Amino acid sequence: MATNNSKSSHYPALANFQKDLHIRSSLQALPPFTGNPLVRFDSWLESFESVIARSDFSEDDVILELRGKLTDKAHKVIKYIIDNNPNEYDTIREKLLDHFHGDETVEKYVKQFKKAHRKPGEKIYDYAIRLQEIFKHAYPDSHAEDSFKVILKQKFIEGLDEKLQFKVKYKDFNTFDDLVAAARKYLARMEAVENTREKQEFVNAINQTSESHTMQEMKKRIEKQNETVNAQTEHFVLNKSFIRHSKTGQCHFNSS
């Protein structure tokens, strides 16, 4: 019985250890936040909290983990906040969000949303995520409503190049994700066709170059053959003339 109890108590301990190991691994895989304006803190924080939510960390442990993940400029910010505020996660979280996003307004995001378009070389999926993020802040109270999701779809299509727009503009998609998936599919096909065309043009150019080179070689050979024939003809004419003169001279000699 003691052995069975020992085994049964061992399994939860092992499960907890594996869970903690997975949490630590996920936190380690999460890139640190440096305060770089190109990376949004609220999006980064959402990823951090999704990992922490699966853990059994105490509030102090969560604050410690958060502090360890903020580096460079962001580390100075959280150090100042912790030194001057109660050691409470919600308070620290609110102060950090205010620091990195306090000057942002709905009007600013609405302007960004209106100007948004797919950047050259930007992946369709990355463009969709970026547009969704701006849309969420531009319409914070209604971005999840179906009527506003239509606006998101329309703006997504407007931000595509003309050829890709034509592929999806007049089709009906149930969700934004369906639209994004279709755009990715059509783009892949268009790029495949374009690559095939470029390859064929390259092959044709090589063939033309090869043919041109062959024609030049043939021209050189013909010119060389003509020179040889001309030289042989000239030599033949000279020999014939010499023989004729030689015979004429001999006849004169015999008659004398």
pLDDT confidence bin for 105, thresholds 50/70/90: confident
Partners of 70 in the beta sheet? 33
pLDDT, tens only, 154-175: 999 999 999 999 999 999 999 9
Mean pLDDT of the chain: 81
Say what the pLDDT of residue 18 is.
81
What's the whole-model pTM score? 0.45
Residues 55 and 20: beta-carbon distance below 8 Å: yes
pLDDT at 96 over 90: yes
Of 45-54, 147-156, 206-215, the range with the lowest mean pLDDT is: 206-215
Say what the pLDDT of residue 207 is.
58
Reduced DSSP (H G I as helix, E B as strand, rest coil) percent helix, strand, coil of the chain, to 5:
80, 0, 20
In angstroms, rounded to a whole number, what is the distance separating the alpha carbons of residues 127 and 110? 17
pLDDT, tens only, 226-238: 676 666 666 655 5
* CA-closest candidate to residue 31, choices 85, 64, 68, 82: 68
Helix 146-158 with 176-255: angle, nearest 10 deg: 10
Say what the pLDDT of residue 214 is.
64
* Averaged pLDDT, 201-209: 59
Structure-model confidence comparison of residues 99 and 86, the more confident one = 99
Say what the pLDDT of residue 1 is.
44
Say what the pLDDT of residue 188 is.
92
